Structure 1
Amino acid sequence: MSSKIPNGKSPTLQDIAAVTGVSPSTISRVLNNSENVKQGIRDKVIQAAGELGYQKVQKQNTEAPENNVIGLIIPDIMNPFFPALIKGIQNTAHFQDYNIILCDSENDTSVAEAQLRQLMISHIRGLIYIPSSEDSGLGEKLVKLPIPVVFLDRKINSDIINYVGSENSEGAYNATRYLLSLGHRDILYLAGEGVLSTEKERYAGFKRAMDEENINIDEDYILSCGYSYEIAFKKVNSWLDKSRKVTAIFASDDLMAYGVLKALKQKKLRCPEDISVMGYDDLPFSDLLSLTTVSQPAYQMGQNAVLLLLDLINKRKAAPQEIILPNSMIIRNTCGKY
């Protein structure tokens, strides 16, 4: 995509059209949240408009304005995966004339419930919610709210929710198949928080790939590290002292993979010559560390969460709805042949 328009000139629909190849009339429909525009075109236009710095001209309205506000509750604002999600949500909401109220529940259900009460007092028109590992039934309560709710990235066990996520199981399956294709059979798996849907799906993908090769998964080759860099470093460091055979380590998120790389360095083990390492998420630092990983479309997930929520608010769609976006393998330098 092109950068912002130079010399302080305000970008126009024609500028967006030049970048995207989409007609100005279609661009106008996207920016006005109209129906009958394909999702791929909608995403392309919104992304280009954000990068060009386009701002809609506000029409004067003598009627009382609607409270175009969306609530967003996330479990941990320090989680490095969430900023791209938030950016996608914020940019997309902005182009649809909506504001965002962001709340960080700090993985505490009582805090999230208090934040929800304040959001409802603020008359939000819809809510985007990322469950925490300590959800404690809050997700089930949200389904009963009088406003639309979209679960993002993580979901609860319910068939009546609206959900936007990515192909966690398929992503982990493809990552494991890649390691197997390199000749690895003794693979240590680092699990995140087992109660979360993301971890359940990723482990299912890992297991499916191993089962296809008739490889038994020894319980000693599964370490629960809670998506934590520090825990992964300590547990892998200790596990390596036991002299078990391992040729590859698959961490179900990049933070844990960073901990693995630190442990290997401390043990003076080479990556990938001695042990290969696979991550998951493709966080910003993963490129700098040349980590082979599975990339999630975080920004696009945020975009789609807002667009789905607006469809529900404006009754263009009826619940339940589900949008699952594909992941992709990013092959760098931490995996080698065995």
Structure 2
Amino acid sequence: MATMKQVAEKARVSTTTVSHVINNTRVVSDDARERVLSVIKELRYIPSAVARSLKNDRTHTLGMMIPNNSNPYFAEVIQGIEDASFKLGYNIILCNSDDDPKRQAAYIRVLMEKRIDGLILVPSGSDEELTKLLADEGIPKVLVDREVAGVAADLIEADHVQGGYDATRYLIGLGHRRIACVAGPDTLLPSGGRVTGYLRALAEAKLEFRTEYLIHSDFTSQGGFNAFKQLLALPERPTAIFVSNDLMAIGGICAANEAGVKIPQQLSVIGYDDIALASFSTPPLTTIAQPKHDIGQLTAQVLVARITNPTLPLRREMLRSQLIIRQSTARPEN
């Protein structure tokens, strides 16, 4: 790999001149600039991003932390972030905390050592170390979907309460009265919001809430499979289930098929997120579509604005979700 010294020697200039050409830090004669750029192209010299950041105090790199890289929801949010970041001249370094707050804190330290200009964080819960790390660092940051106690940052989220309410209201409108909810971890804000919406819709329709009809799981297909098995084993099983994400819903449909329960004839299922797989499940899944690409794009735009002007007032943006009706829901048989 070519070095700056080799570029300087071949272009017959000093290494300082090469540095000024690369970083636009001082006026260089047209003749010298053309020679340097020609040699850089010929030798395929790649400037050190770290060295350039020391001069410019910018790496044009954003760090992003997600809790689970196996969840397609995050892949679609990341696509929106990458699209907007690329247009704004920024690269992304992606880390996966695997829902572990300690790993999350360790990775954030790594990202900061890489001299990222800003951080996008979808928190996996929080602990004292994470809160202190985020509160102490002056790095611009945007939280997505989930707040961290004690940390002042821009927040981009979807309206989870409204989404949970809309899903449950739709099932009630079909005529269902025994409606269960398979929720995500009760420690996470989006999961709690969706349950709040579910409970609000039940109360508004004067339907009794049954504690055995609310099961918390872990946003995985296996978690949904296990929760459905538990619900379908009840003496009076539900006729409809609102599931807090599509992965759990797809796992749950597998459990229903295994138990010989026909969907939607004997059990209606509605998911959440509208991941690409949702329209290819059997049957295709009715779901609440989150504006995933829009969330990603807005997140990147807000973070770059924060990097450019750290004195901007904090933003809290809430985007609405949308009901997508497919073939996994129907009126109850009786």
CA displacement, residues 32-52 of structure 1 (integer Å, 9 cap, x when unaligned): xxxxxxxxxxxxxxxxxxxxx
- Separation (CA, whole Å) in 1 of partners of 2:327 and 2:209: 26
Aligned alpha-carbon RMSD (Å): 1.9
1:234 maps to 226
Shift of 1:297: 1.1
Q: Taking structure 1 as reference, are residues 140 and 287 closer, same or farther at Cα in structure 2, changes over 3 Å only?
A: farther
Which residues of 2 match residues 58-69 of structure 1 at below 5 A?
62-63=24-25, 65=56, 66-69=58-61
The SS at the match of 1:280 is strand
| Counterpart contact for 2:183–2:215, Cα < 8 Å | yes
Q: Structure 1 residue aligned with 2:175, among 161, 174, 183?
A: 183
Counterpart residue type for residue 136 of structure 1: D
Shift of 1:268: 1.3
Q: Structure 1 residues 194-203 or 72-81, which shifts more? A: 72-81
Q: Structure 2 residue aligned with 1:303, among 276, 293, 297?
A: 297
- Separation (CA, whole Å) in 2 of partners of 1:109 and 1:316: 27
Q: Which has the higher helix share?
A: 2
- Separation (CA, whole Å) in 1 of partners of 2:24 and 2:203: 65
Shift of 1:247: 1.0
Q: Structure 2 residue aligned with 1:136, among 124, 127, 130?
A: 127
Which residues of 2 match residues 228-307 of structure 1 at below 5 A?
228-289=220-281, 290-307=284-301
CA displacement, residues 145-189 of structure 1 (integer Å, 9 cap, x when unaligned): 211110012223458331011111101111111111011110011
| Counterpart contact for 2:135–2:150, Cα < 8 Å | no
Q: Where does structure 1 lack aligned partners over 5 or more consecutive residues?
A: 1-58
Q: Structure 1 residue aligned with 2:92, among 95, 100, 107?
A: 100
The SS at the match of 2:146 is coil
1:208 maps to 200
2:153 maps to 161
Counterpart residue type for residue 334 of structure 1: S
- Separation (CA, whole Å) in 1 of partners of 2:232 and 2:110: 48
CA displacement, residues 190-231 of structure 1 (integer Å, 9 cap, x when unaligned): 011110000011011111111101212111111112212112
Structure 2 residue 47 is the aligned partner of structure 1 residue 85: no
| Counterpart contact for 2:105–2:133, Cα < 8 Å | no
1:327 maps to 321
The SS at the match of 1:183 is coil
Q: Tell me the TM-score normalized by structure 1.
A: 0.78
The SS at the match of 1:279 is strand
| Counterpart contact for 2:131–2:151, Cα < 8 Å | no
| Counterpart contact for 1:74–1:104, Cα < 8 Å | yes
| Counterpart contact for 1:68–1:99, Cα < 8 Å | yes
Q: Taking structure 1 as reference, are residues 283 and 127 closer, same or farther at Cα in structure 2, changes over 3 Å only?
A: same
Shift of 1:113: 2.0
Structure 2 residue 114 is the aligned partner of structure 1 residue 126: no
| Counterpart contact for 1:269–1:275, Cα < 8 Å | yes
Paired residues, what number?
A: 279
Q: Where does structure 2 lack aligned partners over 5 or more consecutive residues?
A: 1-20, 26-54
Quote the sequence identity (%).
32
- Separation (CA, whole Å) in 2 of partners of 1:227 and 1:236: 13
The SS at the match of 1:184 is coil
- Separation (CA, whole Å) in 2 of partners of 1:196 and 1:176: 20
Shift of 1:108: 2.2
Counterpart residue type for residue 149 of structure 1: K
CA displacement, residues 47-91 of structure 1 (integer Å, 9 cap, x when unaligned): xxxxxxxxxxxx986225532111111122112211111111112
The SS at the match of 2:236 is coil
Which of structures 1 and 2 has the bigger CA Rg?
2
Shift of 1:235: 3.0
Q: Taking structure 1 as reference, are residues 159 and 62 closer, same or farther at Cα in structure 2, changes over 3 Å only?
A: closer
Shift of 1:252: 0.8
Counterpart residue type for residue 208 of structure 2: N
